[in-house]
Amino acid sequence: MLVVRPITMSDYDALHTCAVESGHGFTSLPVNEELLTNRITHSEYSFAKHDVTAPTDEGYLMVGFDTETGEVAGTTGIEGAIGWDVPFYSYHISTVVHSSPKLNVNNVVKLLTFGNNYTGCSEICTLFLRPEFRGGLNGRLMSKCRFLMMAEHPERFSKTIFAEMRGVSDAEGNSPFWQWLQEHFFSIDFTMADYLTGIGKKGFIADLMPKLPIYINLLSKEAQAVIGQVHENTRPALKLLEKEGFTCRNYVDIFDAGPTVECDLRNIQAVRDSFRAKVSVSEHTSSQDYLIANTSFEHFRATAAKAAFDAESGTVLLSPEAADALNVADGDMVRMLAQ
């Protein structure tokens, strides 16, 4: 059984393994001991922080672990509000018309405009599931457990939730979009730029990034072709988010031009469809799968399990194994989402 819980410092080696296996372009998991340690420390602080009535600098990092072996299968996270400590940059794609009635010329062109439009929004991030665990409901659990948390504790998150999707790059970490930027404005390769961003050293972006809008039709054909496209390994995650109601509002990443998708918290399908139930610990024969989370924040737990829910009484039968994984007992409340 896979169970999601808040990360602790004892998970450092497992997080480092995830960082190595995630490969190039995974900005939030750079292979850097100081950064990974700081992320764990900040997450421990954030989960222990009480009386949060609005999102500020909190960052919640979790791991999924196998209850049989204790092995960490992957990681997933939420940033309460980005842009508080370091700027968060993105490109917005807009359309302008260059028209001359006298010459009977009417050209529609697209621009990339540099900005900080997501400042203060909550970001779902750092979703990585190791290949050997990518089966069953594990992927859904690692992604949607965050929405169960948001539904239960909405005061900790912003009205707008967004996610940066990994853009197109090759096995060596070369991005066609970045190659054009590098040639004209930078002197460092994509992997170095991505790494510096991951460890929080973003000053070079503001220093070197073009301040005026960029005409997309002036970019190389290779760069134009990947704007708004996702990395092959990211397609399943994007499809899952799209089913939840996330959509791209013409914002893309400044390095690889991967799409940024967003949704109002109240309109996320898992948030709308999840519900609370009172626990009754008992063996049962139900074949209905649910994603289930306890209602604690500091000691958050989530798992995928079969359960028997009775709508009339608002009670759910959980097996002793599932109840133990969630740290709940008879009479406790859980939040559930049918699968």
- Residue 261 Ramachandran class (φ > 0 left, ψ -120 to 50 alpha, else beta): beta
- In the annotation, is 50 catalytic? no
Taking Cα atoms as reference points, which of 112, 38, 148 lies closest to residue 46?
38
Listed in order, strand segments (DSSP E) in the chain are 2-6, 59-66, 72-79, 90-100, 105-115, 122-129, 160-164, 214-215, 247-252, 259-264, 275-281, 289-294, 302-306, 308-310, 315-318, 333-338
Taking Cα atoms as reference points, which of 168, 140, 100 lies closest to residue 274?
140
Helix (H, G, I), strand (E, B) or coil at 34: helix
Sign of the CA dihedral running 163, 168, 170, 173: negative
Give the DSSP H or E segment for 38.
helix 33-48
Catalytic residue, chosen from 184, 231, 284, 299, is 231
Q: Which residues contact 309 (CB under 8 A, 6 or more apart)?
A: 277, 286, 288, 290, 315, 316, 317, 336
Catalytic residues: 231
